[in-house]
Amino acid sequence: MLLPSGFDAEGTAGEAGLCYAAVNFRSYDAGVREVSTPEELGRALAAAPDPELARIALSRVGEDPRARAVLERADVLPVAVRLLGFSTAAADLLVRHPEETAALADLRPRSRRELDAELAADLERLGPQAALRRFRRRAMLRVAARDLSGAPFEEVVAEISAVAEACLALACRLAAPEGLAV
């Protein structure tokens, strides 16, 4: 599949020449509908805050097969395009860590307990500094995607606070000398 860059107001491919970026969107998961037409991509890109930024970012992130497998999902593509058309930081994160694209497949709000468990898993896998950094970026990626998808303001602010609390709690535990309360 190729990404078009010229669309009319409805997000459909116009008669004018289409400029295509090479991104091959084919679903290998039988349970996920293939994104197969320029019109579907056009509608998603037309809904982006900055369609050209989204097109370029989608092309960059989609170069990795792991990221592409998530981005090609019909339920993820509109969310990803909105986010990538808004945030170069999101695109940079997903280019550096394509496996984090999977975070866009599950945007439900997380409880503090779920966030703590996710951070603990990152800590075990990545070590303290990298875990805090990666967790915060992934969690905020999800929150931003939900926010751009119209999540209630209160939910967005509550989860931002919960992410900050989880990070601060772990940082305090790691910084405290053993046996002393912080």
Domain boundaries, the chain: 1-105, 108-182
Separation CA 161–CA 81 (nearest Å): 25
Q: What is the DSSP letter of 22?
A: E
Q: Tell me the longest C-alpha to C-alpha distance in the chain.
A: 70
pLDDT in tens, the chain (182 residues): 434 444 444 444 443 222 333 344 443 343 444 544 677 788 889 989 999 999 999 999 999 999 999 998 888 999 999 999 999 999 999 999 999 999 999 999 999 999 999 999 999 999 999 999 999 999 999 999 999 999 999 999 999 999 999 999 999 999 877 766 65
Among the listed residues 94, 92, 89, the one whose alpha carbon sits nearest the alpha carbon of residue 68: 94
